Structure 1
Amino acid sequence: MDVDPLPGSSSGLSTSVVLQTLPKIDENDVLNSKPPKERILEMLDLLEIHVEKLRKGASQLEEDKDALLSSLDSVMNADLMYDLEDNDRDDVNRYADRIVSRCLTVEVKVLTQRDKMQEEALFQVNHLIDGLVVALKVDPEAAQSKCVSYMNACSSNVEGITNKNFESALLGCTIDDQKKVKRRLQGLLKYFEKMEFTSLQ
């Protein structure tokens, strides 16, 4: 039995259309010889697929929002901004602030279920990454090098050095958390690269 796409999919179906296509049990289907429990379980299996598609779509929206905010930040810190007159820069800043405010009105949250060990592993990973931010003020070059070693721990095909402590903690996290950690490290690396480019100028 085919499962129809959910809102946010490439088909662009509206919510009302999707609701109409969700699987339903036909109480009047006298020709269906399957036991009631089997019929119900079949419907639940299909609905579970829809729920996972919903979670995936919401996670993608989270990523899209972060990417938009990151792009806005890049535009506002571009060299072109320093070429503007004060009045023009104020106009641009007000425009950008309005866009950021609109973006922040969108709240999407996908909760990740974790057991106690996964909670502890995530805490350890976040603690190590937070340490990078602190080290940035003292030794930016060493912090960037360590960030790369953390990033290598997130990848299966690695040529450089991998931080084993970080890798061990990361493996204890859920798959969803591992993906989020990787995105966070990617953002940090871009920040490091940006700092390096600015210092060279």
Structure 2
Amino acid sequence: MDVDPIPGSSSGISTAVVLQAMPKIDEDHLLSNKPPKERIVEMLDMLETHVEKLRRGASQLEEDRDALLSTLDSVVNADLMYNLDESESAIVERDDVTRYADRIISRCMTVEVRVMTQRDKMQEEALFQVNHLIDSLVITLRSDPETAKQRCVSYMNACSSQNVQGITDKNFESALLGCTMDDQKKVKRRLQGLLNYFEKMKVVHLPPDLP
């Protein structure tokens, strides 16, 4: 069982190191001839810089976590898994690998990173519309994968100045432009994940080479 090291112990990060990483505001270093309000605003500007750095770091952690989950899913669905024969020993091996992968995925899922985005009412409605369109695409995937892929590509084209292929869905583009920049980036990552899934489906379902 993994145990988190006690702060200050030889195996963990010392409290002094943690405190050194925290933003420090030293009023003595601010020009004393400035009015109190300007000095306070200057301190707040410094703190705002640290807050934005914190948000960027958390967003990167969120992306790293999603990338790890996507990679784990790709490994589980890799050709090597399907190349195992149907012998009893191969089935046991496949089960062992699946359980191992599930354990890692569960471990990864214990990491929760959430960076909230501030939105006004119009931006909330725009994001709702975008998510509704993507959810409808996912539902279509079950019955008509090819149509779902074409629609996903048209949505992806709306997120970029360069088309992946085909046309751009103007309704999706209009809704997307009403979203915040942070939401637009997240939508693009979600669509890219779906496109990667489509490519993986194509590889998995390719017939084996004939002798």
Q: Given the alignment of the two structures, is residue 149 of structure 1 paired with residue 150 of structure 2, yes or no?
A: no
TM-score (ref. length: structure 1): 0.86
Q: Given the alignment of the two structures, is residue 193 of structure 1 paired with residue 194 of structure 2, yes or no?
A: no
- Tell me how far apart the structure 2 counterparts of residues 142 and 79 of structure 1 sit (CA, whole Å): 25
Unaligned stretches of 5+ residues in structure 2:
1-16, 85-89
Residue 93 of structure 1, CA deviation: 1.8
Structure 1 match to 2:143: 138
Structure 2 match to 1:65: 65
Structure 2 match to 1:18: 21
- Tell me how far apart the structure 1 counterparts of residues 115 and 189 of structure 2 sit (CA, whole Å): 16
Residue 195 of structure 1, CA deviation: 1.7
Q: How many residues align?
A: 185
SS of the residue 1:200 aligns to: coil
- Tell me how far apart the structure 2 counterparts of residues 192 and 104 of structure 1 sit (CA, whole Å): 23
Superposed CA deviations along residues 37-95 of structure 1, whole A, max 9, x for unmatched, are 11110010011011001001000000000000111111111121134412222221222
- Tell me how far apart the structure 2 counterparts of residues 147 and 31 of structure 1 sit (CA, whole Å): 55
Residue 16 of structure 1, CA deviation: 2.4
TM-score (ref. length: structure 2): 0.82
SS of the residue 1:124 aligns to: helix
Q: How high is the sequence identity, in percent, across the aligned residues?
A: 71
Pairwise CA RMSD of aligned residues? 1.8
Change (3 A) 1:37 1:25: farther
Residue 166 of structure 1, CA deviation: 0.2
- Tell me how far apart the structure 1 counterparts of residues 54 and 30 of structure 2 sit (CA, whole Å): 32
